[in-house]
Amino acid sequence: QARVERMEQFQKEKEELDKGCRECKRKLAECQKKMKELEVADPESGKGELEKLQAEAQQLKNEEKSWENKLEELKKKEKNMPWNVDTLSKDGFSKSVFNVKPEEKEETEEQKEKKHKTFVERYEKQIKHFGMLRRWDDSQKYLSDNPHLVCEETANYLVIWCIDLEVEEKHALMEQVAHQTIVMQFILELAKSLKVDPRACFRQFFTKIK
C-alpha cells in the first residue's frame, strides 16, 4: 500500500510538472506572437509595450528552463526507482508481449497436486539445472530452450527444494536456488499482472532486469 501511494504521489508530481511546463510554453508562444504583431504594426509608438513584452518573454524563458530542469531531475529519479511488479508492468514494458491468454478454468487441489507430481517426475532434472544457474543470460537462454518450465509447478518445486536445503544446512546453495525461485515467481506475478501466459513475457523480464 505504501509503495502504491509513493508511486501515485510520484505520478501526480510528474503530471503537475508536465502541466506547468506546457502552460509556460503556451504563454511564451503567445508573448512572442504579440511581439511580432507589434513590431509589424507599430514599431515606433509601441516601443514601450515591446520592451515590456521582451522582459516578459525573457522571464518566461527562464521559467521554462526551470520547469525543464525539474522534469529532467524527476526523470532521473524515475530511472533509479527500484523495480517491482507495478513498475515493470507499465506500458513501456508490456510492448511486444504476445497476446496469449492464461487459462481461465479453476483447478481443484487434487488436480493441482496430480499436475505438479506429473510435471516434477518429467522435468525434475531440468528444474534443478535452472535452479543452479547464476547469470541472467544463462537463465534466459535455458528458459528459451525449455519454455515449458515457465510455470507455477517449477516455482513450487524450487520453494520446496529451498526448504529442504535449509533443513540440510546447505545455506549457500539454498540462497542460490532461492534467487532463481524469486526470478520464476516474479515472472509469474508479472504475467498475472499483464494478463498473459508467463511464457509470453519472460524474455521482456530479462531484458528489463539486465
Which residues lie closer than 8 Å to 124 by C-beta, 6 or more apart?
157
Residues in the chain where the model's pLDDT stays below 70: 42-46, 80-106
Q: pTM for this one?
A: 0.48
CA distance 91 to 93: 5
For residues 202 and 184, what is the distance between their CA atoms, to the nearest angstrom?
9
Q: What string of H, E and C letters represents the secondary structure of 153-208? A: HHHHHHHHHHHHHHHCCCHHHHHHHHHHHHHHHHHHHHHHHHCCCHHHCHHHHHHH
Please name the residue ranges forming H helices in 42-80. 47-79
| Residue count (the chain) | 210
Residue 130: exposure state from Cβ atoms within 10 A (0-12, 13-18, ≥19): buried
- Per-residue model confidence (pLDDT) at position 42: 66
* Number of neighbours of residue 195 by Cβ within 10 angstroms: 13
Distance separating alpha carbons of residues 164 and 139, to the nearest angstrom: 22
pLDDT score recorded for residue 91: 46
DSSP 103: P
Residue 92's pLDDT is what?
45
For the chain, give the longest Cα–Cα distance: 93
CA dihedral sign, ordered 98, 99, 100, 102: positive
CA distances from 60 to 33, 64, 66, 166 (A): 14, 6, 10, 63
Question: Could you give the 3-state DSSP secondary structure of residue 132?
Answer: coil
Query: How confident is the model at residue 100, as a pLDDT?
Result: 47
- The pLDDT value recorded for residue 190 is 87
- Counting DSSP H helices and E strands in the chain, the numbers are 9, 0
For the chain, the distance separating the N- and C-terminal CA atoms, rounded to the nearest angstrom, is: 27
- Segment 26-66, tens digit of pLDDT: 998 998 888 888 777 766 666 778 888 888 989 999 998 89
Say what the pLDDT of residue 146 is: 92
* Spatial distance between the Cα atoms of 151 and 188, rounded to a whole number of angstroms: 7
pLDDT number for residue 46: 65
